[in-house]
Amino acid sequence: MQSRHVSLLMSGQDQILTIPHELALSGTEVLLRKEGHRLIVEPIPANSFLSLLTTLPDITANTREFERIPALSLDNWLL
């Protein structure tokens, strides 16, 4: 596994991490999460479900509510 020592910079209240070319990720979006003291950065494929969700408009108070669809009883399911 490649590793490299890099500096963290501040921009207002945000921290900036510059990813060196040899460790660059593909795509234009990443999923960022913290596990303990580790920061995990994973690329999001352009055709992923999460990528699709980021393109949808925000739901607002004016968004039409969906009509209620009656739930099927468990008797109607083939298990």
Count the Cβ atoms, other than its own, within 10 Å of residue 9. 10
**pLDDT on residue 65:** 65
What does the pLDDT profile of the chain (79 residues) look like in tens digits?
A: 889 999 999 999 999 999 999 999 988 889 899 999 999 999 887 777 877 777 788 777 665 666 666 676 666 666 5
Task: Determine, yes or no, domain membership for 44.
Answer: yes
Instruction: Answer whether 7's CB lies under 8 Å from 17's CB.
Output: no
52 lies in some domain: yes
Q: Is 75 within the bounds of a domain? A: no
pLDDT number for residue 72: 67
Residue 18: predicted pLDDT: 93
Note whether residue 15 is domain-resident.
no
48 CB-contact burial (10 Å; exposed 0-12 / middle 13-18 / buried 19+): middle
Q: How many folded domains does the chain comprise?
A: 1
For residue 28, which of 54, 3, 4, 8 has the smallest C-alpha distance?
Answer: 54
* 41: containing domain: 25-56
Verdict on whether the full-model pTM lies above 0.75 = no
